[in-house]
Structure 1
Amino acid sequence: MPERVQIAPQGPLFSPLVMGYWRLMEWGMTSQQLVEFIEQHLESGISTVDHADIYGGYQCEAEFGKALRLQPSLRQRLELVTKCGIATTADPQHALGHYITDAAHIIHSAENSLRYFNTDYLDLLLIHRPDPLMDADEVAGAFQHLHQSGKVKYFGVSNFTPAQYSLLQSRLPFTLVTNQVEISPVHQPLLLDGTLDQCQQMRVRPMAWSCLGGGSMFTSPEYQPLRDELALIQQETAADNIEQLIYAWIMQLPSKPLPIIGSGKIERVRLAAKAAHISLSRQQWFRIRKAALGYDVP
């Protein structure tokens, strides 16, 4: 079972892989089945769970909270992560999708999450997307209010550029503890654009979403070379499946990302958890990179 890791200086301890719940409403689980699923991924060492206010048309947090009400002892075994800042048309009062990061909304969203989860604190709250109308002082004020009231322990961002991250950090008396960003063999821009370099510089571990490319790398004809290369490396490493290799490839980045798993099938989750113990050689890592991109290094 992988041990929990500190994701930032003076930051929280999280599991090396994170259970993502954005598709929870598609899994068709009863509350009791969800309790069992949570207990099962805890047994595999995955204690950190990722949510957002908008997931499942604003329903996922409440559905997860029903499981926590059914089995209250689970709360102390989990690290609850959620996000705010996107307003979608799933809420009838929104005429169009937009971003909203004023202090009142951040505080209101966090308090809603607390109520849905049936808990008195969140382990981590993230701003979900960069907002062109974001006032860094206002966001920082909301973060400090939530921190001082004990409602949120730690704060971070998602999908922020290094400049956006630095701007918000400059207004805070405490460290942002992560930047949740898209990383996969089929989405590599952040590996070289400074985002992960900033994380490494600050000793902040990013969280990686869409590690499997939304499943496209298993179905799209253009990624057949990638699948073929992963199959060869699976034989070389004795990995259980190629998904493990993808998670291991991400975890081998020097910023040490925490991959988010999106499957509601516990066997896939258990196998994914084993990726923490797979080490790729440098050449194996670059073979995956080349197969995904379709070209060699310059």
Structure 2
Amino acid sequence: MKRTIAGVMNWGAWGAKLHKDDLKELITSCIEGGVKTFDHADIYGGYTTEKDWGEAWGELDIPREQVEVISKCAICIPCDERPHYNIKHYNHSSQHIIESVHRSIENLQCDYLDEVLIHRPSPLMDPQEIGTAIEKLKKERLIRRCGVSNFTISQMELLRTELEIHSNQIEISLDHMDGMHDGTIDYCMTHGIEVQAWSPLGGGTLFKPSSDVRIVKLRSRLNQVAEKYGWTLDQMAYLFLLHHPARIRPVTGSSKWARIKVAAEAEDISISDEQWYEIWTAAQGNEVP
């Protein structure tokens, strides 16, 4: 199984609006290409993408154990599917987490979640509430693991008083290296917490036309390194993450197999530490101290 994770956020109403047959084809292409982990969240597509994916998955004759299914919960967004919400907010109560997992499993038609992530931390987060929900869900074999997303070191420490954290999905890219500098990744490595990287291509920042001088200069520096070694820019962005000793798992954002495949195939390319620092220097705009 590849380390690359297929992020599903843009497959549905929030992005490509793929129809069932297109979803079936994309899911199949991912699995055949070794990308067997799919990253969901209940809110994606305004609470519709999980169901769309599940309807496609349900028509595929693929054993459940061949894939890993991740979903997230705890963000509440007012929309057509949730008209009773008055404002975007977080809900980390045991009841909400349990209900969310049950609903995700039903929508995804997947029997259980390999991992549920707490999508965002909250000032009102009670680790005992979360721990109670996770313990119940594990006992009922509805989830195998629990992780978090966008959590700081102190927030992980708070939650670890009540439960084991398997992973932390954070934003990491050539344009967003905070996790490498603020101790978050160090903490994850120290405690055996898997690091997953959302927006590994910087949300497309490096590829879209821009009048932002900073982005233009960043892209120019990165292209020089990529051209030197015959890499594409997106390939280099994945190589940078994959070479890190934390064994970072990139979560792709594309709805096209050709783009997802770039990340998967980058796993078969080795780079040296010196090349990694060339990329780092180009991204930062200065040498290491």
Q: Distance in 2 between the 1:75 and 1:120 partners?
A: 8
Cross-structure match for 1:67: 56
Q: C-alpha deviations, 1:52-91, integer Å up to 9, x for none?
A: 0001111110000011121142533210000000001222
Deviation, structure 1 residue 32 = 1.7
SS in 2 for 1:287: helix
**Residues 1-298 of structure 1: matches in 2 within 5 Å?**
4=1, 15-25=2-12, 26-73=15-62, 75-90=64-79, 91-172=82-163, 175-219=164-208, 220=210, 221=212, 222-239=214-231, 241-298=232-289
SS of alignment partner, residue 171 of structure 1: coil
Q: SS of the residue aligned with 1:23?
A: coil
> Alignment RMSD, CA only?
1.6
1:5-38 CA-to-partner distances (Å, cap 9, x unmatched) read xxxxxxxxxx311000001112232212211111
Inter-partner Cα distance in structure 1 for 2:68 and 2:149: 17
Kindly provide the amino acid, as one letter, of the partner of residue 156 in structure 1.
G
Aligned counterparts of 2:126 and 2:222: Cα–Cα separation in 1: 44
Q: Distance in 2 between matches of 1:27 and 1:234?
A: 29
Deviation string 1:117-145 (CA, Å, 9 cap, x unpaired) is: 11221100000001111110110000000
Q: Is the 8 A contact 2:221 2:283 kept in 1?
A: no
Does structure 2 conserve the Cα–Cα contact (< 8 Å) formed by 1:86 and 1:99?
Answer: yes
Aligned residues: 282
TM-superposed CA distance for 1:40, in Å, is: 0.7
Judge conservation of contact 1:53–1:61 (CA < 8 Å) in 2. yes
- 5+ residue gaps, structure 1: 5-14
Rounded to whole Å, the distance in 2 between the matches of 1:189 and 1:267 is: 29
Contact 2:252 2:260 in 1 (8 A): yes
Percent identity, please: 37
Q: How far apart in 1 are the matches of 2:59 and 2:48?
A: 17
Partner SS, residue 123 of structure 1: strand
Alpha-carbon separation, structure 2, partners of 1:272 and 1:297: 27
Q: Residue 134 of structure 1 aligns to a residue in which SS?
A: coil
Task: Give the C-alpha shift of residue 294 in structure 1.
Answer: 2.6
Structure 1 position 151, deviation (Å) = 0.5
Corresponding letter in the other structure for 1:17: T
Structure 2 stretches lacking a partner, 5+ long: none
1:250-270, Cα deviation, whole Å (9 max, x unpaired): 112221110011111111122
Tell me: CA distance 1:38–1:74, structure 2 relative to 1, closer, same or farther (3 Å): farther
The one-letter amino acid of 1:238's match is G
2:216 corresponds to which letter in structure 1? Q
- Alpha-carbon offset, residue 235 of structure 1: 3.6
Instruction: Return closer, same or farther for 1:224/1:287 CA change in 2, 3 Å cut-off.
Output: farther
1:286 positional shift: 2.3
Deviation at 1:154, TM superposition (A): 0.7
- State the distance in 2 between where 1:180 and 1:22 align: 14
- Identify the range of structure 1 (68-77 vs 44-53) with the bigger mean alpha-carbon deviation: 68-77
Q: Output the CA distance in 1 between the equivalents of 2:64 and 2:221.
A: 41
- Alignment deviations for residues 195-249 of structure 1 (CA, whole Å, 9 cap, x no partner): 100111122221000111111122234223333333333344333x211110110
